[in-house]
Amino acid sequence: MRFWWVNQNQTYKQEFSGGYMWSPKRSKNGARNSFYDSMREVSPGDVIFSFNDTRIPSIGIAQSHCYECPKPDEFGSTGLNWGRIGWKVDVKHQSLINSICPRDHIDIIRPLLPSKYSPLQKNGNGLQSVYLTELNPALAETIAALIGNEAKVLMQGYTLGDGRGYFKSDLNSFMEWEDHLRQQVESDASISTTEKRTLINARIGQGKFKDNVKKIESRCRITKVDRLEHLRASHLKPWRDSDNAERLNGENGLLLTPSIDHLLDRGFISFEDNGELLISPVSNRASLEKMGVPVSSKTNVGGFSIGQKRFLDFHREFIFLERRG
């Protein structure tokens, strides 16, 4: 279990009522942002302190890992410079009766503030540049003590309760988003009916895309299953993020069993260019082991083509649930 601070000055009402946190993937200039990358480290059961308008009005419990999701429609004109696709985490929010103002207690809080990725200025004011940052246990426990018994009950009562890492809302978001993209393909007058069918089949790892992947791959790199009827052509750069050419490019794919396909698509695993298997620090290793992923030793699945390495770079950069250094 980890502790997080989320600054929701612009979107608190929407995120609280919707039961989530959402951030862009990048800053408006395209640069990586550590406070957005933090979303990729959240795990079900983590405790989240919401900060809005100088106060902590609620505590949340993460109900999912991070997943890709379009910017919520309810944000309206908020964040006009934010990218259309960002990170989302399902959260069970609970309002606090004792909504404290950290600035009123800064003499107690200040000694515990980290020198890097601090949620507050030394005077207790918020930092506009911060979205999500981790709190060390001592700081989290101090804030909880200042809030009082209701924070203690929330943190102990259902911290490890409902989170299971892949909620129905995750599935709904993916399905609604990809269905919208599918409709865009179907309504594109510049594409023939046959091409449209080919692109849509690629979404589920079948058809021409699978044929193209078969020219490069012959079996699942993790489980070694080589019967094609048990394998899915998995996109390294997801179908939802790819252009039409990339959706059919065989070098944008691996042949994987369905469970391994799920892990790759959700960012729980990835690969280095040299074939070394990467396992996300937020993944449940016991579950991965049951799915056939070797978790107790380093694993190398073999080399990749130049084209595959290009798509792997995208996967590590934008999909893999990594941890900040």
User: What per-residue confidence (pLDDT) applies to 200?
Assistant: 84
CA distance 220 to 226: 7
Q: Give 6's strand partners.
A: 50, 132
Give domain 3-157's CATH number out of 3.20.20.80, 3.10.590.10, 3.90.650.10, 1.20.1250.40: 3.10.590.10
**By C-alpha distance, which of 82, 15, 10 is closest to 48?**
15
Is pLDDT above 90 for 15? yes
pTM higher than 0.85: no
User: What per-residue confidence (pLDDT) applies to 30?
Assistant: 83
pLDDT tens, position by position, 97-135: 999 999 999 999 999 999 899 999 999 888 888 999 999
Contacts within 8 Å (CB) and 24+ apart, 293-302: 293/222, 293/260, 293/263, 293/269, 294/222, 299/222, 300/274, 300/275, 300/276, 301/221, 301/222, 301/271, 301/275, 301/277, 302/221, 302/275
Ordered by start, the domain boundaries in the chain are 3-157, 204-318
User: What per-residue confidence (pLDDT) applies to 217?
Assistant: 96
Least-confidence region, from 69-73, 86-90, 151-155, 260-264: 151-155
Region 172-186: what's the mean pLDDT?
A: 72
Is pLDDT above 60 for 161? no
Which residue type, as a one-letter code, is found at position 139? L
Question: Mean of the per-residue pLDDT values for the chain?
Answer: 88
CA distance 78 to 57: 21
Report CA 124 to chain centroid distance, whole Å. 30
Pick 236 or 152 by higher pLDDT.
Answer: 236
At residue 163 the predicted structure's pLDDT band, cuts being 50, 70 and 90, is very low
Least-confidence region, from 21-25, 146-150, 211-215: 146-150
pLDDT tens, position by position, 295-306: 988 999 999 999
Region 315-321: what's the mean pLDDT?
A: 90
143 close to 56: Cβ distance less than 8 angstroms? yes
At residue 84 the predicted structure's pLDDT band, cuts being 50, 70 and 90, is confident
Q: What is the DSSP string of 77-105?
A: TTTTTS-SEEEEEEEEEEE-SS---GGGG
User: What per-residue confidence (pLDDT) applies to 172?
Assistant: 58
Pick 132 or 176 by higher pLDDT.
Answer: 132
Is pLDDT above 70 for 233? yes
User: What per-residue confidence (pLDDT) applies to 22?
Assistant: 96
Region 2-15: what's the mean pLDDT?
A: 93
Q: How far is CA 45 from CA 5, 49, 161, 265, in A?
A: 14, 13, 7, 22
Least-confidence region, from 168-182, 195-209, 251-265: 168-182
User: What per-residue confidence (pLDDT) applies to 128?
Assistant: 82
